[in-house]
A and B are shown apart, each in its own frame.
Chain A
Amino acid sequence: MDAIALTRIDAHGKTTREVNAELKALLAAGQRELEVLNPGSRHNLAVGILEPARIVFRGDVGYFCGALSDGLEIEVEGDAGWSLGADMMSGRIVVHGNSGSSTAPSIRGGLVVVKGNAGARTGIANKGGTIVVGGSTGYMSGFMAQKSRIVVCGDAADAFGDSMYLAELFCGGEIRSLGSDTVLEEPTAEDLAWLAETLEPFGLGPKREWKKVRSAGKLWRYDKKEFSIWKEAL
């Protein structure tokens, strides 16, 4: 499957601290292609790694996998728990299964792809980067996102894109309800080209009736006495 033999760590029977110490020791020794067997949904795997490397997890990972990373490439051959890739600066995370709540929160850059479904609050408070969900996403995805693109190939649950700044959301399925202060738009030709280009490498290519959601901007600045804006936007 992999052209290059990956340096192997077997997490079976080890503590999270031992697995992470082993990962960091291998990185320090110059290894750049690693695989972790039996991750067993442990939390906090491969957190805080600030150098380019590729790590493949052969199974499920727990909370905060790949969080606080910069330039890391992670592949999860299973499901991921909450806060996958939290606060990452750049890099790429691909999850073949589902992910839990607050997938890729507060990321500043990079690409996070979940081929299955994501939980609630996907991409909350993002400041950059791109998130792709192959299936559906949960409640209040995109909440308060400042600058990011979130693509949901399936359905979006309630309050999609609530109280955002300059983020752009795309949904290829049904949106159960939009969040506060949003506008629903037709994607532009550039948007559609970008979507095709972004999704194609992950086999999420089939064309969909894309909807685009962005902030209406009414909550960004207003006088506190302007109750009509409160009423209208919220």
Chain B
Amino acid sequence: MCGIAGFLAKREGVPVAEGLVGMLQAMRGRGPDSTGLSLYGAPHEGELVASIWAGDDGGAAARQGILEAIDRHGRVASADFREGYFRIGLDPEDGSPRGLRQLADEVERTNPGVRVFSLGHKLELIKYTADARTIFDTWSLGGVPFTHGVGHVRMATESRVDVNHSHPFWARPFPDVTVVHNGHVTNYHKNRRIYEMRGYSFQTENDTEFVAVYLAEQLAHGLTLDEAVTRSIDDLDGSFTYLVSTADGFGVARDRFSTKPCLVAETDDWVAVVSEGIALAGAFGDDVEIHTYELQGGEARAWTR
């Protein structure tokens, strides 16, 4: 199981967070363990925004340590503490993936239990062992001018139920790239070792974390989003429908056996990719007619703004 959703606005004024949360809430039955969202485009101070999980104990004690760690690698432009997260706007000394890795590693090394869930120019990552509606309300996401986002409801099958193992996963250390995934990637152990030898570090035992890093590396090597998701059909084994999001849009890919569901709906105003139709009914009402089509096995697509 698990349910995934992506929602991209083609024009200003489309309520992205409202839509995405409506989809995820309707798919709650597919993933009651946890919910997560990657949302893009909210205004923030500084060049980058960091979503940092302060730890299971709430993390108020870690506040000073986190700010000091970031200060050693750049300048803190703004800092909010909200529902267990630090949302920090910052200007890094070194904004390259290498610099961002050092920054994220420093924050975690000096603050046990703290996790840097994402760094990006436009990305904010929120995940909890709670439902989508609760997240929407506690974070007051209504009315925030997000441009697009992806989300996930998780039914855990291959690693533990906690916030760290919830989706989305950030493609550490590449800014803005995150993945949500329904399925099992079966060649990730082997690939992960190869990527570790190349210097990447993985924070969990979750297969999706590898998918994120793999795709971000392809993009860093110059592939377009469309090319990267198409290529992944050959490079990834197992069952998967995943959504990968960047600062500019998102892509989707489905394995050749088409074992995991995927519906696409597109209007003049938005694009939605969901696990099942009930998500669209949840977001737009069950009395609204929306044309959908099923992504075929071995098919991949991308949309950019």
**Which A residues have a C-beta under 8 Å from some C-beta of B?**
11-12, 37-43, 59-60, 62-63, 78-79, 81-82, 97-98, 100-101, 117, 119-120, 138-140, 157-158
Contact, CB under 8 Å: A41 / B296 = no
Chain B residues with Cβ under 8 A from A38's Cβ? 286-287
Closest Cβ neighbor of B290 among chain A residues: A60
**Is the Cβ of B258 less than 8 Å from the Cβ of A79?**
no
CB neighbours of B124 from chain A (8 A): none
Tell me if B's interface is mostly helix, strand, loop or mixed. loop
Partner of B276, one of A11, A62, A117: A62
Q: A40 to B278, Cβ gap below 8 A?
A: yes
Q: Interface residues of A: mostly helix, strand, loop or mixed?
A: loop
- Number of A-B contacts defined by CB within 8 Å: 73
**In the complex, chain A residues whose CB is within 8 Å of the CB of B277:** 41, 60, 62, 79, 81
In the complex the two chains form, what is the Cα distance from A117 to B298 in whole Å? 16
Residues of B within 8 A of A100 (CB): 261, 263, 276, 294
Q: With a CB–CB cut-off of 8 A, which chain A residues contact B303?
A: none
Could you list 6 A-B pairs, sorted by A, with CB under 8 Å? A62-B278, A98-B294, A101-B258, A138-B297, A158-B256, A158-B298
Q: Interface extent on B, as a size class?
A: 20 to 34
Query: Complex Cα distance A40/B258, Å?
Result: 24
Residues of A within 8 A of B296 (CB): 119-120, 138-139, 157
Q: Kindly list chain B residues whose C-beta atoms are within 8 Å of the C-beta of A41.
A: 276-278, 280-281, 286
List of A residues within 8 angstroms of B80 by Cβ: none
- Chain B residues at the A interface, C-beta cutoff of 8 Å: 256-258, 261, 263, 276-278, 280-281, 286-287, 289-294, 296-298
- Contact residues in A for B294 (Cβ distance below 8 Å): 98, 100-101, 117, 119, 138
Name the CB-closest residue of B to A99. B294
Contact residues in B for A82 (Cβ distance below 8 Å) = 261
- Return B261 CB to nearest CB of chain A, in Å: 7
Nearest CB in chain B to that of A14: its residue: B286
Q: How far apart are the CA atoms of A61 and B278 in the complex, in Å?
A: 8
Q: Does B297 contact A78, Cβ atoms closer than 8 Å?
A: no
Closest B-chain residue to A37, C-beta based?
B287
What chain B residues lie within 8 Å of A62 (beta carbons)? 276-278
- Chain A residues near B297 (CB-CB < 8 A): 120, 138-139, 157-158
State the CA gap A59–B278 with chains docked (Å). 12
| Contact yes or no, B276 A139, CB < 8 A | no
**Interface contacts beyond A12-B287, A59-B287, A139-B257: sample of 7 additional A-B pairs, CB < 8 Å, sorted by A:** A41-B278, A41-B280, A98-B292, A100-B263, A119-B296, A138-B258, A157-B297
